[in-house]
Structure 1
Amino acid sequence: MLNVLTNKLSLTLFNNDTFKAYFAPFSTKPIAVLMGEMFAATVVKMKTENNDMYSLTLAISGKVNEQHFSFQPGQYIELQVKKNGSYIKRPFTISSSLAQLQQDKTITLTIKKQFAGRVTPWLSSAIKQGEMLGVSPAKGDFVLNRLSKMAVNKEVIFIAGGSGITPFHSLLLSHVANNPTINFTLLYFARANQHALNGSLVALELEHNNFTLKLLQRERDGHCSAAHINAVTSDLQHSEVYICGPNSMMDSTRELLLDMGLPEGALHLEQFGLASFRNVDLNVVRNVSFAITNKEVVVDEDNQKTLLILAEDNVVPAKYGCRMGICQECKCKKVSGVVYNSQTKTYSDTGEEDIQACISVPVTDVVINL
């Protein structure tokens, strides 16, 4: 009886099922944190999806509703972990359905290993079942927010490339069954035998007449073409199209659809990673000088890391918040050089100015006061 009363008190005061769940993230466990708006989340399961992707299922502590923790299918969260004594945040898309959260208070993140990255390759082996992590409130606007206004038999086409499948998996599992008058189609491009989450997608197609699945192999089917689009719709001009995947795939598919007559207002894109660098040749080595810590970093031709990640990778102290350009904690002084702002999609001047390290990529040699 006492446990019941204390658990209710904990839920009321801290939005956690038990006092232990609330205070555990502040303990000395290797990977555990709850700071600011972060929710406590316990690792339930880790599953390998293919050679370079894995799924992490987390149980959310406390209430799960719109006043506490919830999400719209297609959104992402920031996962906060502790590595080598430092707390690190990284954004990951929720790949599970909203019903899963409502039924068992869990979410699933399907994560691609960025083999040159600091977190994703390490995370898959470092996290153990039962450990507690930090999860931010859900963010992002890659959601179907006009379903109620869509006409009967409206066509919604999803085009995914590689790990870009994650938001679509959540969107489809959450919306297909509840919207039988809307026809959903998924064109999913991936390497042979590398279509992640395809088991549940195949099952969804078998269960619902309003969902069509096309698993396309890059080696055999090439890139998205007019033939692929025409094979799934005869009324593109009245469809809604959502695209998520590598930058080059997003750029070429966007141009294709607009050329085919799709209204620009019916095209929705989710940028994984940085925005494309169409007007500047980044195939050059750049030098980043961290003036305060007196460190020099050589950035190779293919490297599109932000200044914040470059700083972290080279043990340069740098403040940061959400990493998505929403906060101003990572603001620092650029002394010289040009950077690209992936939020505003603009290039800086060459002179001194304040920039946000979390969304700025060096385009030329750059000197930063960090």
Structure 2
Amino acid sequence: MSINTNTLDIRHTIWSWIARNLTNNVSFKAYFEPLIQLFFPQWRADRFRSSVIDVRRESDDMYSLVIKPNKQWKGFRAGQYIELTVEKEGAWVSRFFSISSSPRYFNDSGLIEISIRIQENGQITPWLPQALKAGGVVNLSQAEGEFCLADSTTISGVTASTPTTKPILMIAGGSGITPFRSMLQQISLNGLAVSKPVSLMYYARSPEHFLFKEALNTYQQQVPNLTVNFIDTNELGFFSDAHLLKYCDDFAIRDIYICGPSPMIMHARKVLQNQNVNQEQIHYEFFGPEPVSLEGSGQASSVLFQQSGKQVTTNKDEPKTLLTLAEDAQLKPLSGCRIGVCHQCICQKKSGVVYNSKTKTYSDTGQEEIQLCVSVPVADVVLAL
């Protein structure tokens, strides 16, 4: 007997209502979480307890975690990301990382890989490879994100890719190669030919920093119509009109995917826009809040943190998020993903106008809850912080 999705949704809603009314928690699992943690440390009701199989060094500043998700994890589409949650010094910390392996690899092995660049002065990324060993435990969210090829669909936890029918240009910078590696590995493992060209322009600051170079060359040999170009920025410079014409002169008819550091994405978008590429053809993913250029930002703004009594003045030429401004003022607001997904940094705005770099909208002047990590002050702002 099959149960349709609507029936499952109704059951889930009923059980959630019962749990909230009986336990004041979103679920019975959340209510029993402290008790379960006595027997299974680091267990989380809202996450999937998963095993670390290996920690593999990729370069001097990059490593991959090989993880076996538990059986309740639903799988993913090539290009998606997960939220990784671990316990550090008694506190839960979360970060978002793209999955660098393919859904087919997960289907065959039960494993996924996430490849992480060590952030200079970071609190988490340098610590993880020392803290996590084979046999360790992490918590995963379900996969999220829409940075996926248009012809990629998920069926029963496995991504089924049909042969690509529209030409594609992938532009990667540094660790931005991770979602593209997932996509290309999927195509290669499925033994799929692509009916139209797929080109990868991969930028790194030196030959030693091209990640997965051997694998990418193998995919190029296995997949007809796939072209991979490794571009050393120290030698050849950054993405430009000349590079477009040299490596992919028919870019104007392609779907274009960009992933890398924020300045690189902003620059690539500007080059493509100057080449009159249709905005609907350009797809991108930031590793943090999208940089903003505020309309009419000729005046500096002041931000008053009401509870602490601290006040800062913004630099009109260098917009910063409210989270960054708070941390610059030696405050320690709760935060998690720093990209506007987890909502841990929600704070009450008492007055003032902010720009949300995720939704690309301006707030009104009154009281409302805002996300500090993606909100940039536009006029004088007062926060309950």
Q: Normalization by structure 1: what TM-score?
A: 0.78
- Is 2:292–2:319's contact at 8 Å kept on the other side of the alignment? no
CA displacement, residues 99-150 of structure 1 (integer Å, 9 cap, x when unaligned): 1211111111111222233221222212222111110000000001236898
Question: Shift in Å at residue 24 of structure 1?
Answer: 11
Identify which of 26, 36, 44 aligns with 2:37: 26
Instruction: Give the aligned partner of residue 274 of structure 2.
Output: 259
- State yes or no: 1:245 paired with 2:250: no
- Paired with 2:312 and 2:53, the residues of 1 have a C-alpha distance of 39
In structure 2, the CA distance between the partners of 1:216 and 1:306, relative to structure 1 (3 Å rule), is: farther
Instruction: Give the aligned partner of residue 93 of structure 2.
Output: 88
CA displacement, residues 219-260 of structure 1 (integer Å, 9 cap, x when unaligned): 111111222222233432321110111222212211222332
Question: Shift in Å at residue 308 of structure 1?
Answer: 8.4
Unaligned runs of 5+ in 2: 1-32, 153-160
Identify which of 35, 38, 56 aligns with 2:45: 35
Instruction: Give the aligned partner of residue 156 of structure 2.
Output: none
Identify which of 121, 128, 150 aligns with 1:123: 128
Identify which of 96, 109, 117 aligns with 2:114: 109
- State yes or no: 1:59 paired with 2:68: yes
- Paired with 2:257 and 2:215, the residues of 1 have a C-alpha distance of 20
Amino acid of the residue matched to residue 59 of structure 2? Answer: N
- State the superposition RMSD in angstroms: 3.7
Question: Shift in Å at residue 54 of structure 1?
Answer: 1.3
Q: Normalization by structure 2: what TM-score?
A: 0.75
In structure 2, the CA distance between the partners of 1:265 and 1:105, relative to structure 1 (3 Å rule), is: same
Question: Shift in Å at residue 155 of structure 1?
Answer: 1.8
Paired residue secondary structure (2:105): helix
Identify which of 198, 214, 235 aligns with 1:199: 214
Indicate the percent of aligned positions where both proteins have the same amino acid.
Answer: 35
Amino acid of the residue matched to residue 73 of structure 1? Answer: A
- Summarize the alignment of residues 1-370 of structure 1 with structure 2, pairs less than 5 Å apart: 26-27=37-38, 32-36=42-46, 38-63=47-72, 68-146=73-151, 152=165, 154-176=166-188, 177-192=191-206, 193-279=208-294, 290-292=305-307, 304=320, 307=323, 316=332, 318=334, 325=340, 330-336=345-351, 339-348=354-363, 352-361=367-376, 367-370=382-385
Paired residue secondary structure (1:121): coil
CA displacement, residues 139-183 of structure 1 (integer Å, 9 cap, x when unaligned): 00000123689875x321100111211111111111254243232
Paired residue secondary structure (1:120): coil
- Paired with 2:241 and 2:225, the residues of 1 have a C-alpha distance of 22
- Paired with 2:324 and 2:144, the residues of 1 have a C-alpha distance of 20
Amino acid of the residue matched to residue 26 of structure 1? Answer: Q
In structure 2, the CA distance between the partners of 1:289 and 1:51, relative to structure 1 (3 Å rule), is: farther
